[in-house]
Amino acid sequence: MSVENSGPGNKVSWIEINKEHEGQRIDNFLIALLKGVPKSRIYRIVRKGEVRINKGRCNAKQRLECGDIVRIPPVRIAERTTQIYVPAVLQNALQNDILYEDDFMLILNKPSGFAVHGGSGINSGIIEGLRQLRPENRYLELVHRLDRDTSGCLLIAKKSSMLRKLHELFRTNAVTKSYLCLLTGRWARKKQRVNAPLLKNIQKGGERVVVVNKAGKPAETNFRRLQLFKDATMVKASPKTGRTHQIRVHAAWLGHPIIGDPRYGAADVNLLFRKKGCKRMFLHAEDLQFEHPEKGEVLIISAPLPKELEIFLNREKKL
C-alpha cells in the first residue's frame, strides 16, 4: 500500500512509504498528509503513540525510510471549504521574486514580515502560500528557516531526495551564507569572529529567547564591517553554525544589536530609527553559495536588498 492510494479516514490506516517520502521527518509527513488537522493534534497523536512506524512508537523527528509501514489513527479532518488566504504582497513575492529555480529546488527572495510556515497563531506562511499558488508541484518543503522579520534567500526543495541532500550540505557546513545587518552605534573593529555558545530559554511571558551561555550549543559568526554611518554600522555576518537567532544574539552580545530587533535590540534606539524610516529589523539574507547536489555546479545566489532598506540607507548616507 502506498501513499498515493491510501489515506486517513474514520478507521486506522496503514501507509507504506515510497521513495518520494524517504528521508522526510514523520511530523512533516503527517502535516502534509493530514491537511486540515491542527498541528497540535498531530504532535499529540505522535506523542501518545497512536502513530507508529513498523509497529513501533516514534518521535516527531524520526525520519522515514523506503518500505516503512506507518500506522495512522482515525483523525477527523476539517472540511476544506476555504483556501488559505495569501496576502497580495506575499503572492507577488512568491510569483515574481524567485532568484533561482530548476526541477530540484527554488530559492526565493523572502519578504520581511512573513513567517516561513504557519503555526503558533499564524494561519499560514511562505510554504503554505507557495503550495497553494503552485498546486502542480506535489512536493515543496523548507530546507532551512529565516525569522519572520528577516528577508532574503530562502531555499525550498521540490523533491524529497533533494531535501535530504541539501540538509546534508547544511549539516556538514557545505553551504556558505551571508547576511547584511545594520548595527546600532559605530563599531570600531573591522572584523571579528564571535564564538559564543547559545542556549534557548523561555521568559515568563512565554516568549522564546536565546542567550549566550556556556551550557548552550556551540555557535560561531564572523562579522565584517562594510560601512560606518553617523549612529550605525553596516556589517556582513557569516554564520558558521545555524542556531536559532544566532546573528541577532551575537550582535547584541557585541554591544551592537541589530537596528529594529524587537527582542534583542534597544527599544529607544529602535524607536529613533523607526522615526528616521527604518520600520523593520535590518537583517537580510544576502547570499547563498553551495554545490548543486545533482548538477555539480557551484551556485552563488544573491538577493537584492529590499527597496525600503535601500531608500533608508540612501537617506542615511546624505546626513
CA-based nearest residue to 72, from 18, 24, 10: 10
Looking at residue 276, its pLDDT comes to 92
E strand map for 143-258: 151-157, 176-184, 191-195, 198-202, 208-212, 220-228, 232-239
User: What are the tens digits of pLDDT across the range 195-241?
Assistant: 999 998 867 566 778 999 999 999 999 999 999 998 999 999 999 99
Position 110 pLDDT exceeds 90 = yes
Measured CA to CA in angstroms, residue 133 lies from 33, 80, 83, 96 at distances of 18, 16, 11, 12
**DSSP character at residue 62:** P
User: What are the tens digits of pLDDT across the range 35-47?
Assistant: 778 888 899 999 9
Looking at residue 6, its pLDDT comes to 45
Looking at residue 4, its pLDDT comes to 39
For the question of residue 102 being annotated catalytic, the response is no
State residue 263 phi and psi, 5-degree precision.
-100, -40
Q: What is the mean pLDDT of residues 237-247?
A: 94
Q: Which member of 97, 147, 149, 261 is catalytic?
A: 147
HSE on the CB side for 174, CA within 13 Å?
Answer: 13
Q: Which domains can be identified in the chain, with CATH numbers?
A: 3-72 (3.10.290.10), 88-168 (3.30.2350.10), 173-317 (3.30.2350.10)
Looking at residue 5, its pLDDT comes to 36
Q: Is the whole-model pTM more than 0.85?
A: no
Looking at residue 80, its pLDDT comes to 47
Q: Which residue has the cell 553617523?
A: 230
Helix or strand or coil: residue 100? strand
**DSSP character at residue 111:** P
Mean pLDDT for all residues in the chain: 88
Is residue 176 within 8 Å of 288, Cβ to Cβ?
yes
